[in-house]
Amino acid sequence: MTEHLIDDISLRKIALIAGFSYLIIFITGIASNFIVLMDLFIPGDAAGTVDSLLANMGQFRAGILGFIIMVIFDVIVAWALYILLKPVSRGLSLLAAWLRLVNATIFGLAIYDLFAILRILNDTTYQDLLTPEMIQAQVMLFFTAFNDTWLIGLIFFGIHLAFLGYLIIRSGYIPKFIGILLMIASAGYLIDSFANVLLVSYAEYAGIFMLIVLVPGVIGELSLTLWLLIKGRKLTLPEYPA
């Protein structure tokens, strides 16, 4: 089977593109989460959150930019992984790519809520029409909407990881343990997403669910990223039966 899959782009180059793009997603995603979510938003304190945002507006804008970059490279990763795993199963690889693209699209829509926060805090029209308490309520509402919309996208992402893991296990040219890790990560994303919707007392166990998502997710996706960057340059396809 030829190593060249599309025009002059080799399988090895595709692996490096996927690995580099995934690395960018890790960097921008982690940075933006800490810049925007962990640092500036104070759960249960609308007034404190607004004060924090107003005092660190440049930091907030940088976080939004990081999320936008993450979405752009998510599209590239979806394309690259489709090409990389198409020899295993074109249909399943295409489905996995579409699931990732749906997640990227939904997350792009979620970012709109962060822009809404930006507008309501910077546009004097809103400040003239709304009381400080109303502005604070709107900010927290948009932030909650951002999280809820992102949550919907992560359901599609979790299913994407399940198909991605299965394809990797079947591939014969990417280590099976990475596929297994991704399938475990898939279960973590789905458990957390559905628990968030169905479990009334979810907030009491949010820390546990975060670990269920983060530990297998980071280990699995980071393992794939490093393998693509380090071993991808030597990648060759096995012979598949016709």
pLDDT digits (tens, 9 = 90+) for 208-229: 888 888 898 999 999 999 999 9
**Is the separation of the CB atoms in 173 and 228 below 8 Å?**
no
Query: How many of the other CB atoms lie within 10 Å of CB of 236?
Result: 9
- Tokens for 163? 């198909």
d(CA 165, CA 171): 10
d(CA 227, CA 148): 32
The pair phi, psi for residue 6, each rounded to 5°, is: -135, 115
Q: Domain segments of the chain: what residues?
A: 7-152+218-234
d(CA 56, CA 62): 10
Whether the per-residue pLDDT at 5 is higher than 60: the answer is no
pLDDT per position as a tens digit, 8-64: 468 888 999 999 999 999 999 999 988 778 889 988 899 999 999 999 999 999 999
pLDDT for the residue numbered 3: 45
pTM to 2 decimal places? 0.89
Would you report the helix, strand and coil content of the chain in percent, each value rounded to 5?
85, 0, 15
Computed over every residue of the chain, the mean pLDDT equals 90
Residue 130: pLDDT band (50, 70, 90) is confident
- Which stretch of DSSP H or E encloses residue 149? helix 132-171
Residue 73: pLDDT band (50, 70, 90) is very high
Q: Average pLDDT in the 136-152 region? A: 94
**Is the separation of the CB atoms in 118 and 61 below 8 Å?**
yes
- Tokens for 209? 């669910």
Q: Average pLDDT in the 128-136 region? A: 88
**Which of helix, strand or coil describes residue 9?**
strand
- Tokens for 232? 């991808």
In this prediction, what percent of the chain has a pLDDT beyond 90?
Answer: 70
DSSP letter for 4, please. E
